[in-house]
Amino acid sequence: MSDLKRSLSEAAAAAFQAAGLSPEFGRVTASDRPDLADFQCNGALAAAKSAKRNPREIAVQVVDHLKGDPRLASVEIAGVGFINMRVSAEALSARAKEIAADPRAGAALVESPRRVLVDYAGPNVAKPMHVGHLRASIIGESVKRLYRFRGDDVVGDAHFGDWGFQMGLLITAVMDEHPFIQALMEKLPEAPRGFTKADEDKVLAEFAALISLADLDRLYPLASTRQKEDLDYKERARRATAELQNGRFGYRLLWRHFVNVSRVALEREFHALGVDFDLWKGESDVQELIAPMVHQLEDKGLLVEDQGARIVRVSQEGDKRDVPPLLVVSSEGSAMYGTTDLATILDRRSSFDPHLILYCVDQRQADHFETVFRAAYLAGYAEPGTLEHIGFGTMNGSDGKPFKTRAGGVLKLHDLIEMAREKARERLREAGLGTELSPEAFEETAHKVGIAALKFADLQNFRGTSYVFDLDRFTSFEGKTGPYLLYQSVRIKSVLRKAAEAGLKAGRITIGEPAERDLAMLLDAFEGALTEAYDKKAPNFVAEHAYKLAQTFSKFYAACPIMSADDDATRASRLNLAQTTLRQLEQALDLLGIEAPERM
């Protein structure tokens, strides 16, 4: 089952081929002037340039070939050789009927499914998530859902930041603040020999009584600032990092506590956002792979000494900018951020063997990933082109800088979510919505409205762009917002409930009125939007389709009465259109990670 754009492209390609020209010139697109045509083909102009012929003469040949196509009510030439096509009511009715009967609401599957791993969110252990994690989490979740919906075998990995210098800083800070823990570390064995699980649980319980996530959140910035000014402190933290990575038992137990208390808070925030992962792996999961990997890199002649550190040079002849080397082992002997990223590629290859790994990470990390990817290709850990950084811009305040609190600090994600919930409650009450809901149902609806506001405000933009945070605008039930889309979906559900209560059923779709035609054309465009979003790893194409579909249904609903239609056949047709619109709209929202309530 093909969408109209694809099937007409195939017909136009055959027409160009019949004219002795490449079928590639037959590409059909949605018309720039929907008042004149549904679709257009501009291939005659490019074909004329290639064949050194008159474009209008080529267009005449193509149009003559297409004139008998039953899908077209008209096919005409405009200007120097533009070909305009209008779809027949019969073809549009048939296509709408196909979409209505399709469990996937008109969406095709990819021809060659792949194994895809999406690396997103990237929360850090021992630090509450902040507003900067929002984009990675919701863009990555949407890309994961999109690729899975298209038929790929997809795994989503949170990829914790749970290893490296930040852990050494925290270990040092915690021991300085708690002499008891310092003393305990000196008593614990270097290795876990003779230490039972009950012994470990007892030590972990002692850590839990002394150190909360709030403590870690307080200590880390203090330690980070201090190490910049106190070289002895910095050296202690570096040694603690190396000892942790080399397996010192007491440090590993303390680190486990950091992970445990962090995981509880992280799961709470991710659940609130409707974000989930198949893997909750961290940098620490590849620790055992690092030493063998370093030997491999050495054997391949890729590892070189540089001022006491060991690096892989990745610059290439013809580079237009400086691409820094990958720092694999620091001068203190510690594995670095890039080292664990490289080892993670090895781990993923052995455990999942993906055809493609997508890294949904801030665009400002582009240089880092360029370095890691080049090192992976040089080492033979991945095939060129199988690693891709899908970067994104920042969410900014009204000053154009990354969003912060009024006090100038970084806003915690938990606080942002609560702000959105509170504003959603306010908006619902202002609009007189949810008045018939129970208090529990009202709270659930407010949560869905608030999350829809945050997600749609982000995902309607191309991921590479930055945008300004404006909660008042995002939570409005009017305009291009998540709450508007939820309102329209609830509105359709209400119509369908009333129809069901009256014993009315959907029937054969027949397109007649202009508003029906517009709605059917939008339903057909779903596949095109999905293709663009999939190819460009950009959920904004799905968001744009959802918004246009909701808008077009609103116009259809105003122009084409459903319950009071002139006859039973028209009523049944329009009910089917409403039912199909709801399924497609909810599918699009689901791909964006947005859940619509049943009532408002």
Give the model confidence (pLDDT) of 531-574 as tens digits. 999 999 999 999 999 999 999 999 999 999 999 999 999 999 99
Give the lowest-confidence range in 301-305, 385-389, 398-402, 540-544. 398-402
Q: Residues spanned by CATH 1.10.730.10 within the chain?
A: 413-591
Residue 314 has what DSSP assignment?
A: -
Given a cut of 90, whether residue 405 has pLDDT beyond it is no
Q: Residues spanned by CATH 3.40.50.620 within the chain?
A: 117-285+338-392
pLDDT band at 450 (very low <50, low <70, confident <90, very high): very high
Q: Which fold has domain 4-87?
A: Gyrase A; domain 2 (3.30.1360)
Q: Residues spanned by CATH 3.30.1360.70 within the chain?
A: 4-87
The CATH class of 413-591 is: mainly alpha
Residue-wise pLDDT for 481-540, tens only, equals: 999 999 999 999 999 999 999 999 999 999 999 999 999 999 999 999 999 999 999 999
pTM: 0.93
pLDDT band at 407 (very low <50, low <70, confident <90, very high): low
How many CB atoms sit inside 10 A of residue 546's CB? 28
The CATH class of 117-285+338-392 is: alpha beta
Residues 333, 288: Cα–Cα separation, whole Å:
15
Residue 479 buriedness (CB in 10 A; 0-12 / 13-18 / 19+): exposed
Residues 290, 564: Cα–Cα separation, whole Å:
70
Given a cut of 80, whether residue 314 has pLDDT beyond it is yes
Tell me the percentage of the chain whose pLDDT exceeds 70: 99
Torsion angle in degrees (nearest 10) through CA of 31, 33, 38, 40: -40
Residue-wise pLDDT for 121-133, tens only, equals: 989 888 888 888 9
Mean pLDDT across 225-252: 93
**pLDDT number for residue 398:** 86
Residue-wise pLDDT for 158-191, tens only, equals: 998 898 888 999 999 999 999 999 999 988 887 7
Query: Residues 413, 269: contact at Cβ < 8 Å?
Result: yes
**pLDDT number for residue 406:** 66
576 membership: H or E segment, kind and range? helix 568-591
pLDDT band at 1 (very low <50, low <70, confident <90, very high): low
Mean pLDDT for the chain overall: 94
